[in-house]
Structure 1
Amino acid sequence: MAKTVLIVGANRGLGLEFAKQYAADGCNVIATCRRPAEAAELRRVGVTIEALDTSTSSSIEALAKKLADESIDVMICNAGVYGPRSDGLTDMPTEDFDLVMRTNVLGPLRLTLAFAHNVARARGAMVFLSSRMGSIGTMSSSSGIAYRASKAALNAVVKATSLELGKKGVRVMALHPGWVRTDMGGPQASLTPTESVAGMRHVIENASDKHGGFFDNTGATIPW
């Protein structure tokens, strides 16, 4: 029986590449984006596309209701924003900081609550796209402070989720995709989306830790 994969934030970049690779392997892919009518490349992949705005609780609740009877083998939360670019500690408009935290932290938390039973039913995996920039243990720069803070907070959500859902056989993990040539990573990045996603898929398939982990695209553990 084909695996069902839910990819949140799949209209471009890593989310789109996840959709392409899982679809090519014959998985039942449910890919979300805010405006399906504008997701021309995603439509060409041949997956089920659902509208979802992770910043709106009603949008998450609507999709959860629609997929209530679906067993989800892998849920990938890819939706995220970088926010204000900064070289060090700096103030910023409240609305800019709120957008980063709402998108990168509150959205994933709400998704966890909405789809926990779907993933637990399949004894599957919940995967959250994080970043090495959110690692407090390895931090050596204060640049991008809003993004760093949001990913550190996301990692706390991941760990807390693992403590509850790990008991139900769900593998929960935060993944650092590497430096990837996407809109966020820029053209000088060292990895293509194809390389990054292939590596992360291998990590997802082979992870056995049900107590939460933070890994890079090669499977190496990153300190929280």
Structure 2
Amino acid sequence: MGELCIHSVLVTGANRGIGLGLVRHFLGMRNPPKWVFATCRDPRGQRAQDLQNVASNHANLVVIPLEVTDPTSIKAAAARVGEHVGGSGLNLLINNAGMVINNTLDDETPENMTQIYTTNTVGPLLLGQAFLPLLKKAAQGSPGSGLSCSKAAVINISSYGGSIKEVYLWDQIQAVSYRCSKAALNMLTKCQSLGYRAHGVLCAALHPGWVQTDMGDSVGNVAPLTVDASVRGMLKVLSSLSEKDTGTFLDWEGKVLPW
């Protein structure tokens, strides 16, 4: 097991929190990717200022506008990535963009359920579909027959909160729509792993931990894990994934989590 060796990676929701942390760590590798694609809704907005500051110092970082619930926006982003990577394709797609509304079972609404499911579950589905041609190119151009993140992979950032068996932190945050969307994302990951395996694409769901981000702190308590610690752990896990791990649900330390 060593550091990831990839030509290209795309991270959604990359303007802050875990997404921005992933981008920074990819750029800081000893052998960084030739292309790091960072997407967010409004790259020119105030909430993306930190990302723009990073981009100004890295020629291999391409910031792309992307609304993960909009098929037209997704197709445009895929086309732009394709212009950069050409025949080498895209090695790693990290579906990190997500949202949470901390509603209880009593005050959850159809509108919240629909909005959060569309962002957290439908978005990763559409992104997988749009980027599959580029992932297939990367897989075809990589040596060896096994699956790995260095070859071609879709990584969905999920949550232990979506575990039906554990219902993690229920006493502190119900967030019913969020939990349902992440449980559905886990099933999507399993489906993608079965559907994309023949194309040489590994698929896995990762729980990043309870992290000190705007989302992580929305529970009302200070999250125990820093962005840096979470991202370092996840990248170590990604570097170790192989064919036996496709379709699994893991945490940032590589522990298999219950569905």
Q: Deviations over 1:110-145 (max 9, x none)?
A: 001000121222231111110001111222638221
C-alpha RMSD of matched pairs (Å): 1.7
Pairs within 5 Å for 1:133-144: 133-139=161-167, 141=170, 143-144=174-175
> Is it true that 1:214 corresponds to 2:249 in the alignment?
yes
> Is it true that 1:201 corresponds to 2:232 in the alignment?
no
- What TM-score comes out, normalization by structure 1 length? 0.93
Q: Deviations over 1:81-119 (max 9, x none)?
A: 012432xx2243322211101100111100010001212
In structure 2, distance between residues paired with 1:210 and 1:21: 23
Contiguous gaps of at least 5 residues in structure 1: none
> Is it true that 1:62 corresponds to 2:76 in the alignment?
yes
Contiguous gaps of at least 5 residues in structure 2: 56-60, 140-151
Equivalent residues of 2:6, 2:91 under 8 A apart: no
Aligned-residue identity in percent: 38
Q: More displaced, 175-184 or 132-141? A: 132-141
In structure 1, distance between residues paired with 2:213 and 2:256: 23
Pairs within 5 Å for 1:71-82: 71-82=89-100
> Is it true that 1:32 corresponds to 2:60 in the alignment?
no
Choose from 192, 196, 207 the match for 1:165: 196
Choose from 192, 215, 223 the match for 1:189: 223
| Match in the other structure for 1:41 | 50
Equivalent residues of 1:125, 1:204 under 8 A apart: no
Equivalent residues of 1:177, 1:216 under 8 A apart: yes
Choose from 107, 132, 140 the match for 2:160: 132
Aligned residues: 222
In structure 2, distance between residues paired with 1:201 and 1:40: 24
Q: Deviations over 1:28-78 (max 9, x none)?
A: 211001101121110122221000001111101111222235311111111
In structure 1, distance between residues paired with 2:238 and 2:99: 23
Query: What is the one-letter code of the residue matched to 1:168?
Result: H
- What TM-score comes out, normalization by structure 2 length? 0.81
Question: Relative contact order, CA 8 A, sep 6+: which one is greater?
Answer: 2
